[in-house]
């Protein structure tokens, strides 16, 4: 045992998990201070992850949640204390189930793997929408201009030392990095417009095991966080696709991957526009800086890849941004947004019923919805705004709908100020997660501004609506009747109303159960029919 370099780890597992290990070997060294080991016992194998820090301490809870949602990840074992994470000598350890399967190296993925990875990434992020918000990565302070100044200073100091050692190759590499810092420092990011999603960890080809045609995703580091969706999807593609081996991104090859992913995690216009800019930023400030002497083979490959990608993006970032923006337009080209007509009434109410019945089934365990009756009554109410009652039509079928009405904010002086609200907003279940709801919101908020309305206040999810320009109503000093409540000013200072209290019309609260049940009898189940798959 004394000659075994891992004898301490074997003892740690025995003491904390009551498992006797017969052998141990290094599987992956992803960072100098983060390692993954394969452990063998007399009965089965395990994987032990060792970290020098633990940024997310609920890893076991997160794993249990993902497994409950049908996401394939290795099972985590609890230590004798009942905890998933063991802290020993300022190091952190997690014991995983050993998954026997096939792994692919960077840029070696077959076509079927590339497309399945897009689907799997989207499914993981979609599943995590129902989980509590993870620690936020790439927050606004991440783009602090001081970072560019410090980065430039650090590289210049390395150049000086490299020149003193007459290391010409390193000088050349560092000057390339300096060139990229100058380029990236000109970029501007509006984080409020970008889509943030919960992520299990860095999702890319080196962290996927193929077992019986299923993807089992792993997280070698403790990287669970809330990050930019546009970054993770482009990163996962460029690490997997063989055509990206030298850092080039062909948008025609990337397009099917992106469209498959967007079935589960919709991206807005700004996400697509800024995707290559952020990837370029990441390559320079979140990857490795030469020299690469201390990197393991796995990370040396990643360092060379991000260098190649940065070099290509230096010349092509605007082009790729334009192409991806066009792609976003193409996705919506077949979607027709138009005002609702009288002939659409039954179809819209049926669609609303279908959408909210599906929502209640998955969020509230079922039950009859009343939103279709609300739409029916709103059209006859004085607060109804017909100029903003829009449907989304795809291949001749109504697949989405949004309806607006007038609401009011009453200030502390008793004066009522008119604002807009919208809802219900509905999308046919089988057409959801394709940006249809977002298209309706973007179109109608712009139309509301054109028509001269001053502000919009809604009850809606605080993680979804900021991408369209909404903020928490309380940031404007408003007190809503119900939370969460979001607001958007269409003209400056429209919501500067001291003591403002937001309230909707009585029609929203006058839906007797007996009337709902009677109204509901005239509808049929659409079951998502009519939506192009």
For residue 89, the model assigns a pLDDT of 85
Q: Is the pLDDT of residue 325 over 90?
A: no
Q: How many residues does the chain have?
A: 533
- Provide the greatest CA pair distance for the chain: 86
Residues 6+ apart with CB under 8 A from 358: 429
Backbone angles phi, psi at 210, to 5 degrees: -95, 120
Q: Work out the angle between the directed axes of helices 371-378 and 345-363 (0-180°, nearest 10).
A: 150
Give the 3-state secondary structure of residue 118. Answer: helix
User: Where would I find the beta strands (DSSP E) of 32-112?
Assistant: 34-40, 45-51, 85-88, 91-97
For residue 180, the model assigns a pLDDT of 96
Encode burial over 160-184: b for 16+ CB neighbours within 10 A, e otherwise: eebeeeebeebbebbeebbebbebb
Give the 3-state secondary structure of residue 245. Answer: coil
Count of CB atoms within 10 A of residue 259's CB? 14
Q: Which helix (H) or strand (E) holds 168?
A: helix 168-184
What's the rounded Cα separation, in Å, for the pair 492 and 290?
A: 48
CA angle 390, 395, 397 (to 5 degrees): 55
For residue 532, the model assigns a pLDDT of 32
The stretch 452-456 carries a mean pLDDT of 96
Q: Is the pLDDT of residue 467 over 70?
A: yes
Count of CB atoms within 10 A of residue 286's CB? 12
The mean predicted confidence, pLDDT, of the chain is 88
For residue 265, the model assigns a pLDDT of 85
Q: Give the DSSP letter string of 257-307.
A: HHHHHHTTS---HHHHHHHHHHHHHHHHHTS--S--TT--HHHHHHHHHHH
Answer whether 408's CB lies under 8 Å from 503's CB.
yes
The pTM of this model reads 0.66
The stretch 274-278 carries a mean pLDDT of 96
Query: Which range, of 134-138, 150-154, 294-298, 513-517, averages the lowest pLDDT?
Result: 294-298
CA angle 163, 164, 165 (to 5 degrees): 90
What's the rounded Cα separation, in Å, for the pair 233 and 267?
A: 10
What's the rounded Cα separation, in Å, for the pair 339 and 337?
A: 7
Answer whether 420's CB lies under 8 Å from 447's CB.
no
Residue 63 DSSP class:
H
Place of tokens 């007399």: 42
For residue 435, the model assigns a pLDDT of 75
201 closest CA partner among 80, 96, 307? 96
Backbone angles phi, psi at 463, to 5 degrees: -95, -10
Count of CB atoms within 10 A of residue 348's CB? 23
Q: How confident is the model at residue 329 (pLDDT cuts 50, 70, 90)?
A: low
């Amino acid at each position: 045992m004394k000659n075994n370099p891992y004898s301490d780890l074997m003892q740690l597992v025995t003491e904390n998990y009551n498992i006797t290990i017969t052998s141990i070997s290094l599987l992956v060294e992803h960072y100098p201070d983060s390692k993954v080991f394969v452990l063998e016992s007399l009965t089965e194998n395990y994987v032990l992850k060792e970290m020098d820090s633990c940024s997310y301490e609920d890893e076991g809870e997160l794993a249990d949640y993902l497994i409950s949602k049908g996401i394939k990840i290795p099972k985590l074992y609890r230590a004798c204390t009942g905890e998933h994470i063991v802290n020993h000598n300022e190091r952190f350890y997690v014991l995983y189930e050993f998954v026997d399967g096939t792994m692919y190296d960077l840029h070696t993925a077959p076509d079927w793997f590339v497309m399945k990875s897009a689907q799997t990434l989207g499914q993981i992020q979609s599943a995590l929408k129902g989980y509590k918000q993870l620690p936020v990565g790439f927050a606004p302070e991440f783009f602090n201009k001081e970072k560019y100044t410090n980065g430039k200073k650090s590289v210049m100091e390395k150049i000086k030392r490299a020149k003193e050692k007459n290391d010409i190759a390193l000088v050349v590499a560092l000057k390339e990095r300096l060139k990229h810092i100058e380029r990236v420092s000109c970029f501007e990011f509006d984080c409020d417009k970008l889509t943030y999603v919960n992520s299990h960890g860095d999702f890319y080809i080196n962290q996927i095991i193929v077992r019986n045609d299923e993807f089992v995703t792993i997280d070698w580091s403790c990287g669970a966080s809330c990050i930019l969706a546009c970054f993770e999807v482009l990163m996962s593609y460029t690490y997997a696709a063989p055509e990206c081996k030298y850092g080039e991104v062909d948008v025609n090859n990337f397009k099917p991957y992106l469209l498959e992913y967007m079935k589960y995690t919709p991206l807005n216009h700004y996400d697509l526009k800024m995707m290559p800019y952020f990837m370029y930023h990441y390559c320079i400030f979140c990857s490795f800086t030469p020299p690469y002497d201390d990197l393991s083979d796995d990370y040396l490959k990643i360092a060379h890849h991000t260098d190649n990608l940065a070099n290509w993006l230096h010349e092509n970032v605007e082009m790729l941004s334009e192409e991806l923006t066009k792609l976003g337009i193409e996705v919506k080209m077949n979607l027709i947004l138009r005002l609702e007509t009288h002939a659409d009434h039954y179809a819209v109410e049926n669609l609303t019923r279908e959408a909210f019945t599906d929502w209640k089934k998955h969020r509230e365990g079922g039950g009859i919805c009343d939103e279709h009756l609300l739409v029916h009554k709103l059209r006859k109410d004085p607060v109804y705004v017909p100029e903003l009652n829009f449907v989304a039509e795809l291949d001749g079928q109504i697949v989405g709908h949004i309806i607006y009405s007038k609401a009011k904010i009453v200030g502390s002086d008793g004066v009522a100020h008119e604002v807009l609200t919208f809802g219900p907003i509905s999308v046919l279940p089988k057409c959801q997660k394709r940006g249809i709801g977002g298209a309706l919101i973007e179109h109608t908020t712009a139309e509301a501004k054109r028509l001269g309305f001053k502000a919009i206040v809604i009850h809606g999810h605080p993680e979804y609506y900021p991408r369209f320009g909404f903020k928490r109503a309380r940031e404007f000093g408003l007190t809503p009747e119900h939370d969460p409540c979001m607001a958007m000013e269409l003209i400056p200072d429209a919501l500067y109303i001291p003591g403002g209290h937001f309230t909707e019309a009585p029609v929203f609260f006058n839906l007797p159960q007996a009337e709902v049940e009677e109204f509901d009898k005239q509808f049929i189940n659409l079951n998502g029919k009519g939506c192009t798959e």
